[in-house]
Amino acid sequence: MRKIAPYIAVILAMLIWAGSGIAVQHSLSYVRPFTLIVIRFTIAIVLMLCVGVVVNSIQKSTVSSQRSELSLQLITWKDMPLFLLAGVMQPVLYFIFETFCYRSLSSPTIAEALLSTAPLIAPWLALLILHERVTRNNIVGILISSVGMFMLVLLGSQNFELGNPIGIPLAFMAVCSAVIYTIVLKKIPERYSPLSIIFYEQVISLFFFYPLWGIVEGKACLTEGLLLSPLAMETVYSIGYLAVFSSIVAFVLFCYTVRRIGVTEANAFNNARPIFTALIMLVFFGEQLPLGKWIGIALIVIGLFVCQKQEKPRIKQ
């Protein structure tokens, strides 16, 4: 079970994040962008603090020496730079680059495809910074999976007008921020639980997001009200989904996976996000998938299996 637990965790994380785009799109009809960010992360931080306090109390009462993945620990000054770097890379820089990428490119489809290229960049940054071994199966699997991802995202899309070309380097910077974030997760000492890591990085991110919110949207919120209009229950559910599942559960699961199987293999699962998005749209919104998209899904799954396959050591003659 321990061997497959990281893979179950990362698949659940990608499934949750696949639904995040739909929740964000719905929420932004009623809530301003930076307002949505500070609301969701503030709720997430309060919830994580409550969970951490309860788990810590249970551990003290049972006198357990085993660290829980949901415990909350104090960080040392020596490790503070790693937590600071993680919080700056994601969510701060990634969210900013992603937002302006979508605004610059006229086609959301092209933006989504560019922002899904983390698996292509992750092996080389992991090799350069962590000296993490990149196998032939990793490269072949990632390439097969990436071809499937581009087929799934781009086939059947009509609008390929580029828009402002600045969106391309912005997408690249967003992807690099996300990959560097996973590398930092790997560098953070094992004594910290995933919940502690996510809690502190999101606290750090709010030190950046609150001033940005004040500059960009603060005046409008004071004069026109915090929200654009009264919230329907569906919007409350969407914000709750983003705060609880996207900002806590998925991040904790992904953090757990990166620290167990490494940067390259964990990032390869980013190619699965368009699969889950397509299936959500099919099941809940009746959006049909043409044959080419089903072929793309098959290639993504095959590529992920190839990427995770361990190479047999060569027997010396």
What is the reported pLDDT for 64?
A: 60
Residue 30 has pLDDT above 60, yes or no: yes
d(CA 198, CA 15): 19
What is the reported pLDDT for 317?
A: 45
Residue 161 has pLDDT above 70, yes or no: no
What is the reported pLDDT for 315?
A: 45
- Whether the CB-CB separation of 147 and 284 falls below 8 Å is answered with no
Question: Residue 105's beta-bridge partner residues?
Answer: 163
Q: How confident is the model at residue 230 (pLDDT cuts 50, 70, 90)?
A: low
Q: Which residues contact 204 (CB under 8 A, 6 or more apart)?
A: 83, 84, 86, 87, 88
d(CA 141, CA 38): 37
Q: What is the mean pLDDT of residues 155-167?
A: 65
Can you read off the two tokens belonging to residue 223?
């004069």
Query: Of all residues in the chain, what percent carry a pLDDT higher than 90?
Result: 27
- Top pLDDT among 96 and 180 is at 180
Residue that the structure tokens 């490119």 belong to:
105
Can you read off the two tokens belonging to residue 238?
């969407």
Residue 224 has pLDDT above 80, yes or no: no
d(CA 30, CA 230): 8
Question: Residue 78's beta-bridge partner residues?
Answer: none
Cα 59 from chain centre: 30
- 84-138 tens-digit pLDDT: 999 999 889 988 888 787 777 766 666 677 777 788 888 888 888 888 888 888 8
Residue 316 has pLDDT above 60, yes or no: no
Mean pLDDT for the chain overall: 82
d(CA 149, CA 270): 9
> Which residue blocks in 63-166 are alpha helix, DSSP H?
80-87, 94-104, 108-115, 118-130, 136-154
Q: State the burial class of residue 214 (Cβ atoms within 10 Å of its Cβ: 0-12, 13-18, 19+).
A: middle
- 239-258 tens-digit pLDDT: 899 999 999 999 999 999 99
What is the reported pLDDT for 157?
A: 59
pTM assigned to the model:
0.84
- Whether the CB-CB separation of 270 and 113 falls below 8 Å is answered with no
Residue type for position 184: V
Looking from the CA of 293 toward its CB, the CA atoms found within 13 Å total 19
Residue 26 has pLDDT above 90, yes or no: no
